[in-house]
Amino acid sequence: MNTQITAPFKKQLLEQRDSLLAQLASLRGGNVGRAQASAEHFGNQKEDSRAQLETERDLEFTLDARESAELDAIDAALKRIESGSYGVCTDCGTDIPAARLHAAPETPRCISCQDKLEHGRRA
Ligand SMILES: [Zn+2]
């Protein structure tokens, strides 16, 4: 794909990246707030308070892992734009339909490979 075709996808990816980073920052802020509230609530029971804080930390880590996986997908798509391999399925080499790229510009696979991957995960 030439840069004229990939330009709108690149813009979309960069916008997605920005809003994801903003989302991550606000999630992180929200978790700190909840953890502090829990610490106050369990102020008289030190052991419980520590357990609660660990749960909050686990939650934060889970959210981070999911958001950063999405961020990785976006970064990988931007790299594919730079290298000229954007819009081609990373698994089978087929051109990914433009409609699919518009719906999910970070997608590295065609629908059939994505289906196979998701089906494989479930089985
Ligand atoms: Zn494919």
Residues 86-122 as b/e (b if ≥16 CB within 10 A, e otherwise) read bbbbeeeeeebeeeebeeebbbbbbeebbeeeeeeee
Q: Residue 106 in 3-state DSSP?
A: coil
Of residues 118 and 23, more confidently modeled: 118
Residues with CB under 5 A from ligand 1 (ion): 89, 91-92, 94, 110, 113
How far does residue 7's CA lie from ligand 1's centre (Å)? 22
Query: What percentage of the chain has pLDDT greater than the value 70?
Result: 74
How far does residue 93's CA lie from ligand 1's centre (Å)? 6
Q: Which two tokens stand for residue 47?
A: 């052991």
Instruction: Indicate whether this model's pTM tops 0.75.
Output: no
How far does residue 59's CA lie from ligand 1's centre (Å)? 34
Contacts 24+ apart (CB under 8 A), 80-85: 80/108, 81/3, 81/6, 81/9, 81/10, 81/13, 84/1
